[in-house]
């Protein structure tokens, strides 16, 4: 056949100029959130005292480091049309676990390993229940959130568990090339999960599953296995965040990370990850995390009353999503 | 049954499958030879798709077995079937809207290099294969930006590119244009020459005759006939076996009186309808809208109905203006619309058949002006289930569990139940509908028209437009290009008017 | 109530996850074992659950209960509910107030007021500052605040009162609001506050509990304010504080004001038992005091208090 | 060419017995959750002392009365494929608002009215943002959750607001026919919203929207208006719950109702309301609410350690959904 379908249909209604404009918009759209963040950052740098200082920037990075790590894996979770509320509890439990095992065995490495394994087990349980037993992710992880929090309290008797080994503290306090280790770990997470999302079968399958689980399954994608892997990895990373938090605080605290899950999910959604699955970008998530952290940081620097901070947080969330929405609206016109 | 000369590549043996309240298949068996296209025919709900889902490993049969090259297979999931060399194109398209054509085509088997997806290799491979197949698709376009027909094409190519030895196509042409259909036929013929065994499901008998070497007919989940060859088999025989009765002329056109202008569309524009469109439909008249896919027929009708924003122009029903972009005002004026995309815009999947039928009409039957009248709704639902022969165990069945054709009938019933119906716009009303049911739907349209309803029928099937409509309007690139009264219209002039200038007007069989 | 009926006493607390309340429960349990009554432990983190808890106690035929309420303003409704359910009522830690904010005298109470304990914290900090010879104008005070919780506000305000009374300039008090009451949020709040005020050479910190102060101490460490430039005094003498004291090197976590959970848990339940069993009403008001524990005296003080 | 016996085709495919069995299963399925609850209740009655007493049952009813009210409207919200996280904050704000206005004006009626109006406004804002601006419901209500909580703190200066009027307390304390007023209000909510769901166009349209919003719109359903109504009504009912809670506590508390939203949603999902929309039953929600309340109540009666209560709550949630899931699995096998 000589004629192309497009020619036959006559769909090529666009001119060259149209196309160029479309491309420009495409770029603006793709990076709109980044632009928003840059503008926000610039404005704050000029208006808020101390905002644009190395100390503050490091503090900001540190304050979002745990959220950032877990946001990477939450992105996968949301992209596959799932949901995980149990990460906050896992952070707490992992910290406690690490401290207990490290104290008992005298080996920090063993504590860390035990804690990562615990995270993997929690994640795997979530994954299996959700993928195999086909129970709603929200309910499953709400249940494990309760259970794991309970375990954190039970194992620690509700008390902070101090770690005696010095080696453990350095993990959280050490600086490399001017940045503290937790920040480097977070950066590493973004790089690793960015590559995983965009460059590996695992990432592409995740998006496919979120976009249309049936299609993925019918195409032979190991849907269940991928979903379980997503939760398992999320458990491990949440545990890692918990360990790092514990090392920063020099103790495992059973009530750490309350509300953490909603912060992480907000950051992802702010970063353009669709709750309906199938859409995610690592740069978006990074910016989402940064916007959240920056706003909180700036509010504190500006001495905004704690009560009014609720208003600002809510408003920022709305505005950011609204802007993103307007962009999508134009796109689908 | 005479023994086939070659051993069958694929064999179904005594397959049975029961869903709660529905026996979808019972003791069905047939076989498909390598290098042949086997037609599968049957009414809506006969069990064809269920059979294909069993073949694809999606359903596990309650009884019986599937054998490939004489070896019994036990597919427990889709991946098993794929591994055994089976590719199924499902009736409900299964693509990932957010991913690119390339990634959809390579779903589940993207090439990797050092553990990372080798995008360049994938792109190259996809381009080559698409070129080799003569299919024009941009590998990088996202699926959601393509037309339904193009998406269907992606699905077909996806199955073909699997290099499977068995290929099943479940109503692949239901949303393809003439031209895309041509491409498909050429592909199928090539595959036959390569020795693939294929199953081809369609409600369009011409396609069966054109493409198939053999055929099997299902009815009510059982096999009623097997044809080793279609040589000498008449269309009427097939229809008779399928429906269990003689239909004769499937269109069965009945001339009727026409009244005053009912629907007047003047200079209507919308976002996707740039040039103003005007036309009129009289009471009792059936107007067929013909055009190639993408001609803009659906768009204009959606604007007329109010589903999409109307930017300009007037729509009047019996002289009364219908508010722009206001569906409920259209319905109150007696103007209703059956969308073409049944799954996305038509049915409410998780609700019952009865709910789907009564969703709009119930406002006229409220008790005390407030409460839903359940008894009346049950009666309405049962009436239409019977009248349109909707195959469902009971009216409370979730509509998503019905076969596609039966869903279509339920959506149509929704509007038939309207008390004061004046204008009915149906977009591809017989897409995916069996011959018997088509005939029933045409009869419903005639009946409505005879009652004075103005009917607009969008269809991409030329014979249907010619056979049913009192007047044919052709569209091309968002504009009305011609009008033909019944009698004046024939294949050549209608098609010529529907094709964009410069394209050849002869029906294309040039592959 | 017949004299030989088994005695059942409820012990309702607002934050069961807090070590403090865990300890109170533990010592109440000890009393129950010694005296032979049944103790029902119920958590009631908000007003609605307090009322549910009281209903629950009535349903299981308890005769009285000790409560630490999530909000002292719940006073009238708790009193009314207890009366309606014919339960004897005692409060611990936080004293109920009526609609106009006056303490409800009719309810026996054991505890230490939130602002009192805060004042002790402030005093401890002021004393230590003097000892170290810090100039107040070179010192910043981190108020790790969580004003959403009335007790938290009272405690930190108390600390400010004592500090200013000791001559600390009020302008040097830096408010660092934490978004949640955990250590990480305290860390972030403190970190920002320190960034904002590079002018101070030394820092002191106080907050709702030990965890809040711990966060501030860690943040200060990160910014180079170590043991000799930081005085953090927490509240509770909890494990978080003890962990700090257990470290080989002293940290900025100077001390914690310890209130005896043993007295609060044990004595209130014994009082309630006596009230029910022998109709011996408890004293209308028992005020306990907190004690400052530091790295130096932690073990000693705890032993003294029977912990 | 061969033919099978054509006579066989005409035969009815199901026998009478089949049909009867199917019907029986249908009933068991429809009422499986109720059965679970009855069994649970019976077991607890026999094993837990004091559980089966009038006092306790009234206490239980009272403890779930706020959740019950809001679960009725949350059912609509979930059924239409939406989500509302702001109800907990609304409960708090409404209580504070009611107390402040009642104190300022000296009129309890005015306080109640103001508070209901505030609830309606919050709900309407949620609805308009979600339906008209098409912003994800989770994010929108997460934002309003923050904002409204902030308002509650700001208006009350973070302190509980005591109400002086006696009339106000009786609302929460009065008993009618042996049951306290809040319980009656909850019963009324279940009746009203049950009728609304099953017997009115509003309810049916809600389900249709949840099933397929696009199709519902094309079928002439006023999708936006219905969605806004759902949120508005939810706001009013949450405010009502807040008022009643405040009257029970004799004060409006700005930090009331934290975590309330997740409890309400859990109860609904436990009651078989699908998070994917389109499926809901009022009896299910009632049972969901009762199961949640009963478990909590029994745990208190059994004096289960606070830390272990987390485990039990999580486990119960999982088990209940699992049982329900097994039922669905059989259905769709
Ligand atoms: N998952 C299911 N649950 C219940 N019934 C089902 C299910 N899938 C299919 N059915 C029923 O099984 C019967 C056969 O359906 P099937 O989809 O195979 O028909 P079909 O021959 O493909 O019809 P069409 O030509 O309309 O596509 C129908 O009555 C349908 O309602
Ligand atoms: N989902 C979609 N996304 C983007 N463009 C689309 C989509 N659906 C259709 N189009 C484009 O809109 C135009 C007209 O669409 P459509 O195919 O519905 O026209 P039509 O005349 O109704 O044809 P038919 O009814 O035969 O499909 C075409 O250019 C088509 O490519
Ligand atoms: Mg089919
Ligand atoms: Mg169309």
Instruction: Tell me the per-residue pLDDT of C38-56, one tens digit each, with 9 for 90 and over.
Output: 898 888 888 888 888 898 8
pLDDT tens readout for residues C283-297 = 888 888 888 999 888
> The dihedral of CA B443, B446, B452, B453: what is its sign?
positive
Q: Is the CB of B403 under 6 A from ligand 1?
A: yes
Q: What is the pLDDT of residue D2?
A: 35
Give the pLDDT band of residue C223 (cuts 50, 70, 90).
confident
Q: What is the pLDDT of residue D167?
A: 79
Best residue of A136, A156, A310, A327 to probe chain D, by most D CBs closer than 10 Å: A310
Strand spans (E) along B20-70: 22-32, 36-42, 63-68
Give the pLDDT band of residue D333 (cuts 50, 70, 90).
very low
Greatest distance between any 2 Cα atoms in chain A: 77
Q: For the CA atoms of D189, D195, D196, D198, what is the dihedral angle to 10 degrees?
A: 130
A102, A108 Cβ separation under 8 angstroms? yes
In chain C, what residues touch D301 (CB-CB under 8 Å)? 56, 59-60
Give the pLDDT band of residue A330 (cuts 50, 70, 90).
low
Q: What percent of chain C has pLDDT over 90?
A: 35
> Per mean pLDDT, which range of B65-69, B363-367, B451-455 is the poorest?
B363-367
Structure-token pair, residue D229: 């109504």
Helix A166-173 crosses helix A181-199 at what angle (to 10 degrees)?
Answer: 70
Using CA coordinates, name the residue in chain D closest to B345: D215
Q: What is the pLDDT of residue D100?
A: 93
Give the pLDDT band of residue B3 (cuts 50, 70, 90).
very low
Q: Which residues are CB-contacts of D291 (< 8 A; sequence separation ≥ 6)?
A: D33, D36, D37, D40, D267, D270, D316, D320
CB atoms within 10 A of CB C157: 17
Q: Is the CB of B436 under 6 A from ligand 1?
A: no
- Does residue A19 belong to any structural domain of this protein? no
- Does residue D51 belong to any structural domain of this protein? no
Q: What is the DSSP string of A54-93?
A: HHHHHHHHHHTHHHHHHHHHHHHHHHTT----THHHHHHH
Kindly determine whether residue B370 and residue D2, on different chains, have CB atoms separated by under 8 Å. Answer: no
Using CA coordinates, name the residue in chain B closest to D198: B372
pLDDT tens readout for residues B137-175 = 888 888 888 877 788 888 888 888 888 899 999 988 877
- Does residue D28 belong to any structural domain of this protein? no
Residue nearest to atom 1 of ligand 2 (CA): B147
Residue with the larger pLDDT of the pair B60 and A27: B60
Interface of C with A (CB under 8 A): 16-19, 22, 145-148, 175-177, 179-184, 187-189, 191-193, 195-196, 198, 211, 214-215, 218, 221-223, 238-240, 242-244, 246-248
In chain B, what residues touch D22 (CB-CB under 8 Å)? 20-21
Residue A13 has pLDDT above 50, yes or no: no
Q: Is the CB of B293 under 6 A from ligand 2?
A: yes
Kindly determine whether residue A318 and residue D135, on different chains, have CB atoms separated by under 8 Å. Answer: yes
Domain count, chain D: 1
C271, C108 Cβ separation under 8 angstroms? yes
Over residues B435-459, mean pLDDT: 90
Over residues C208-213, mean pLDDT: 90
Over residues A122-127, mean pLDDT: 96
> How remote is the CA of residue D7 from the centroid of ligand 2, in Å?
46
Q: Is the CB of B263 under 6 A from ligand 1?
A: no
Residue A172 has pLDDT above 80, yes or no: no
Average pLDDT of chain C?
88
Q: Which atom of ligand 1 is nearest to the CA of B47?
A: 18
Please state the separation of Cα C151 from the chain's center in Å: 8
Return the CATH number at A73.
Answer: 1.10.3470
Residue with the larger pLDDT of the pair B149 and A116: A116
> How remote is the CA of residue A124 from the centroid of ligand 1, in Å?
36
In chain D, what residues touch B351 (CB-CB under 8 Å)? 207-208, 211, 278
Residue B243, helix vs strand vs coil: helix
Q: How far apart are CA D160 and CA D79, in angstroms?
A: 35
Q: How is the beta sheet containing C230-235 ordered, strand by strand?
A: C173-177, C139-145, C202-207, C230-235, C253-258, C291-294
Average pLDDT of chain D?
85
Q: What is the pLDDT of residue A305?
A: 84
Over residues C66-70, mean pLDDT: 90
- Does residue D307 belong to any structural domain of this protein? yes
Count contacts between A and D (CB, < 8 Å).
Answer: 120
> Per mean pLDDT, which range of A55-59, B20-24, B298-302, D69-73 is the poorest?
B20-24
**Residues with Cβ–ion distance below 5 A, ligand 3:** B 49, 91
Running DSSP on this structure, what letter comes out for residue B142? B
Q: Which atom of ligand 2 is nearest to the CA of B148?
A: 8
Structure-token pair, residue B155: 């699905």
pLDDT tens readout for residues D109-129 = 999 999 999 999 999 999 999
- Does residue D23 belong to any structural domain of this protein? no
Q: What is the pLDDT of residue D225?
A: 94
In chain A, what residues touch B130 (CB-CB under 8 Å)? none
Q: What is the pLDDT of residue C144?
A: 93
Kindly determine whether residue C56 and residue D297, on different chains, have CB atoms separated by under 8 Å. Answer: yes
pLDDT tens readout for residues D282-300 = 999 999 999 988 988 888 8
Closest CA to B276 of B500, B478, B498: B478
The pTM of the full predicted model, rounded to 2 decimals, is: 0.87
Over residues B219-235, mean pLDDT: 88
A154, A250 Cβ separation under 8 angstroms? no
Kindly determine whether residue D136 and residue A308, on different chains, have CB atoms separated by under 8 Å. Answer: no
Q: Which letter, b or e, does each residue of D98-116 get, where b requires 16 or more Cβ atoms within 10 Å of its Cβ?
A: bbbbbbeeeebeebbebbb
Residue A137 has pLDDT above 50, yes or no: yes
Q: How far apart are CA B133 and CA B101, in angstroms?
A: 15
Q: What is the pLDDT of residue D248?
A: 84
Q: What is the pLDDT of residue B213?
A: 92
Q: Which letter, b or e, does each residue of B67-99 get, where b requires 16 or more Cβ atoms within 10 Å of its Cβ?
A: ebbeeebebebbbebbebbbbbbbbebbbbbbb
Q: Which atom of ligand 2 is nearest to the CA of B428?
A: 25
Boundaries of domain holding D286: 56-332
Q: What percent of chain B has pLDDT over 90?
A: 40
Give the pLDDT band of residue C72 (cuts 50, 70, 90).
confident
Residue D267 has pLDDT above 80, yes or no: yes
Q: What is the pLDDT of residue D330?
A: 54
Q: How far apart are CA B211 and CA B230, in angstroms?
A: 10
- Does residue D32 belong to any structural domain of this protein? no
Kindly determine whether residue D9 and residue B220, on different chains, have CB atoms separated by under 8 Å. Answer: yes
Residue D325 has pLDDT above 60, yes or no: yes
Among the partner residues C195, C218, C239, nearest to A50 by beta-carbon distance: C195
> Per mean pLDDT, which range of A298-307, D14-23, D222-231, D238-247 is the poorest?
D14-23
Task: State how far residue C161 is from chain A, nearest Cα, in angstroms.
Answer: 20
- Give the residues across from B484 on adjacent strands: B472
Kindly determine whether residue B56 and residue A220, on different chains, have CB atoms separated by under 8 Å. Answer: no
Running DSSP on this structure, what letter comes out for residue B106? T
Ligand 1 test: best mutation among B15, B44, B50, most atoms within 8 Å of CB?
B50
Ligand 2 test: best mutation among B270, B293, B474, B480, most atoms within 8 Å of CB?
B293
Residue nearest to atom 23 of ligand 2 (CA): B293
Q: What is the pLDDT of residue C161?
A: 94
Q: Is the CB of B46 under 6 A from ligand 1?
A: yes
Q: Is the CB of B408 under 6 A from ligand 1?
A: no
Asked if A63 reaches chain B (Cβ–Cβ under 8 Å), the answer is: no
Q: How far apart are CA A316 and CA A45, in angstroms?
A: 18
- Does residue A260 belong to any structural domain of this protein? yes
Alpha-carbon separation of residue D41 from D44, D60, D190, D293, D295 (angstroms): 5, 12, 20, 11, 9
Whether C and B touch (3+ CB pairs < 8 Å), yes or no? no
Residue nearest to atom 17 of ligand 2 (CA): B294
The alpha carbons of chain D give a radius of gyration, in whole angstroms, of 23
In chain D, what residues touch B344 (CB-CB under 8 Å)? 212, 214-215
Closest CA to B162 of B210, B92, B104, B230: B104
Q: What is the pLDDT of residue A30?
A: 67
Q: How is the beta sheet containing B454-459 ordered, strand by strand?
A: B335-338, B423-427, B454-459, B286-291, B471-476, B479-485
């Amino acid at each position: 056949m000589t004629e192309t379908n497009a020619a036959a249909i006559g769909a090529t209604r666009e001119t060259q100029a149209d196309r160029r404009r479309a491309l420009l918009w495409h770029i603006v759209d793709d990076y709109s959130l980044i632009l928003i963040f840059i503008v926000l950052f610039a404005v704050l740098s000029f208006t808020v005292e101390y905002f644009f200082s190395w100390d503050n920037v490091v503090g900001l990075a540190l304050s979002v480091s745990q959220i950032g790590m877990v946001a990477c894996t939450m992105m996968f979770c949301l992209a596959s049309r799932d949901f995980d509320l149990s990460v906050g509890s896992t952070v707490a439990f992992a910290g406690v676990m690490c401290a207990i095992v490290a104290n008992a065995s005298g080996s920090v490495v063993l504590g860390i390993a035990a804690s990562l394994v615990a995270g993997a087990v929690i994640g795997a349980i979530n994954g299996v229940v959700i993928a195999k037993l086909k129970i709603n992710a929200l309910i499953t992880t709400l249940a494990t959130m309760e259970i794991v929090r309970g375990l954190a309290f039970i194992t620690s008797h509700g008390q902070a568990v101090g770690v005696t080994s010095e080696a453990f503290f350095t993990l959280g306090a050490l600086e490399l090339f001017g940045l503290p280790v937790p920040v480097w770990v977070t950066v590493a997470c973004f790089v690793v999960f960015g590559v995983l999302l965009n460059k590996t079968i695992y990432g592409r399958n995740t998006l496919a599953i979120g976009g249309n689980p049936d299609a993925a399954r019918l195409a032979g994608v190991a849907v269940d296995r991928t979903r379980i892997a997503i939760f398992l990895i999320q458990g491990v990373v949440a545990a890692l965040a918990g360990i790092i938090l514990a090392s920063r605080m020099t103790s495992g605290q059973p009530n750490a990370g309350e509300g953490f899950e909603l912060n992480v999910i907000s950051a992802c959604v702010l970063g353009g990850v669709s709750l309906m699955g199938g859409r995610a970008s690592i740069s978006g998530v990074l910016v989402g995390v940064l916007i959240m952290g920056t706003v909180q940081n700036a509010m504190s620097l500006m001495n905004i009353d704690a009560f009014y901070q609720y208003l600002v947080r809510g408003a920022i969330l709305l505005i950011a999503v609204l802007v993103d929405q307007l962009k999508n609206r134009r796109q689908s016109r | 049954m005479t023994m086939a000369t070659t051993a069958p590549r694929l064999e179904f043996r005594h397959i049975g499958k029961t869903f709660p309240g529905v026996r979808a298949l019972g003791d069905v068996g047939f076989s498909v030879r390598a290098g042949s296209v086997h037609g599968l025919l049957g009414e809506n709900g006969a069990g064809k798709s269920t059979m294909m889902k069993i073949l694809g490993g999606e359903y596990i049969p309650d009884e019986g077995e599937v054998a490939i090259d004489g070896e019994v297979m036990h597919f427990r999931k889709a991946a098993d079937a794929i591994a055994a060399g089976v590719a199924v194109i499902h009736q409900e398209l299964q693509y990932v809207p957010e991913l690119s054509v390339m990634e959809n085509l390579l779903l589940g088997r993207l090439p990797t290099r050092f553990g990372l997806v080798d995008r360049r290799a994938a792109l190259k491979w996809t381009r080559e294969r698409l070129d080799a197949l003569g299919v024009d698709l941009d590998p990088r376009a996202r699926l959601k930006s393509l037309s339904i027909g193009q998406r269907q094409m992606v699905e077909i190519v996806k199955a073909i590119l699997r290099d499977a030895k068995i290929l099943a196509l479940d109503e692949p042409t239901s949303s393809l244009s003439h031209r895309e259909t041509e491409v498909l036929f050429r592909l199928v013929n090539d595959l036959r020459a390569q020795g693939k065994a294929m199953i081809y499901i369609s409600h369009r008998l011409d396609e069966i005759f054109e493409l198939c070497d053999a055929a099997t007919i299902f009815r009510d989940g059982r096999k009623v006939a097997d044809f080793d060859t279609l040589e000498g088999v008449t269309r009427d025989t097939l229809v008779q076996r399928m429906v269990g009765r003689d239909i004769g002329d499937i269109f069965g056109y009945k001339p009727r009186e026409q009244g005053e202008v009912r629907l007047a569309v003047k200079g209507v524009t919308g976002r996707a309808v740039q040039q103003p469109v005007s036309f009129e439909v009289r009471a009792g008249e059936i107007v067929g809208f013909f055009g190639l896919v993408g001609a803009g027929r659906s768009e204009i009708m959606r604007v007329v109905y109010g589903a999409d924003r109307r930017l300009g122009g007037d729509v009047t029903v019996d002289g009364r203006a219908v508010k722009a972009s206001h569906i409920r005002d259209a319905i109150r004026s007696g103007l209703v619309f059956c969308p073409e995309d049944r799954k996305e815009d038509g049915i409410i999947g998780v609700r019952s058949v009865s709910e789907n039928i009564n969703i709009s009409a119930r406002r006229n039957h409220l008790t005390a002006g407030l409460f839903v009248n359940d008894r009346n709704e049950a009666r309405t639902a049962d009436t239409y289930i019977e009248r349109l022969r909707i195959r469902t165990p009971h009216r409370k069945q979730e509509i998503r569990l019905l076969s596609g054709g039966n869903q279509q009938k339920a959506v149509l019933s929704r509007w038939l139940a309207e008390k004061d119906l004046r204008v009915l716009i149906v977009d591809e009303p017989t897409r995916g509908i069996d011959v018997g049911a088509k005939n029933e739907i045409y009869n419903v349209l005639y009946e409505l028209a005879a009652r004075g309803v103005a009917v607009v029928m969008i269809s991409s099937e030329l014979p249907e437009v010619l056979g049913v409509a009192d007047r044919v309007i052709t569209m091309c690139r968002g504009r009305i290009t011609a009008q033909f009264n019944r009698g004046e219209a024939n294949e050549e002039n209608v098609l010529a008017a529907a094709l964009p200038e410069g394209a050849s007007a002869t029906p294309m069989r040039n592959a | 109530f017949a004299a030989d009926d088994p005695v059942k006493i409820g012990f309702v607390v607002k934050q069961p996850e807090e070590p403090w309340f865990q300890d109170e429960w533990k010592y109440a349990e000890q009393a129950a074992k010694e005296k032979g009554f049944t103790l029902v432990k119920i958590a009631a983190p908000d007003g609605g659950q307090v009322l549910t808890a009281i209903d629950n106690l009535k349903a299981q035929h308890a005769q009285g209960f000790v409560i630490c309420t999530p909000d002292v303003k719940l006073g009238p409704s708790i009193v009314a509910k207890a009366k309606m359910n014919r339960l004897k009522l005692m409060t611990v830690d936080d004293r109920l107030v009526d609609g106009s904010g006056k303490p409800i005298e009719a309810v026996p109470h054991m505890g230490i007021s939130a602002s009192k304990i805060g004042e002790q914290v402030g005093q401890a900090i002021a004393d230590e500052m003097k000892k170290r010879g810090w100039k107040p104008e070179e010192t910043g005070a981190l108020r790790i605040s969580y004003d959403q919780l009335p007790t938290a506000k009272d405690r930190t305000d108390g600390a400010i009162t004592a500090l200013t009374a000791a001559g600390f300039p009020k302008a040097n008090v830096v408010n660092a609001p934490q978004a949640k009451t955990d250590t990480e949020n305290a860390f972030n709040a403190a970190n920002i506050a320190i960034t904002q005020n590079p002018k101070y050479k030394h820092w002191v910190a106080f907050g709702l509990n030990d965890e809040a102060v711990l966060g501030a101490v860690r943040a200060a460490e990160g910014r180079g304010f170590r043991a000799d430039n930081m005085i953090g005094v927490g509240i509770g003498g909890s494990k978080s504080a003890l962990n700090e004291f257990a470290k080989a090197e002293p940290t900025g976590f100077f001390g914690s004001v310890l209130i005896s959970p043993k007295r609060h848990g044990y004595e209130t339940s014994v009082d309630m038992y006596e009230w029910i069993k022998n109709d011996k009403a408890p004293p209308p008001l028992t005020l306990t005091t907190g004690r400052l524990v530091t790295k130096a005296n932690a073990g000693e003080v705890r032993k003294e208090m029977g912990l």
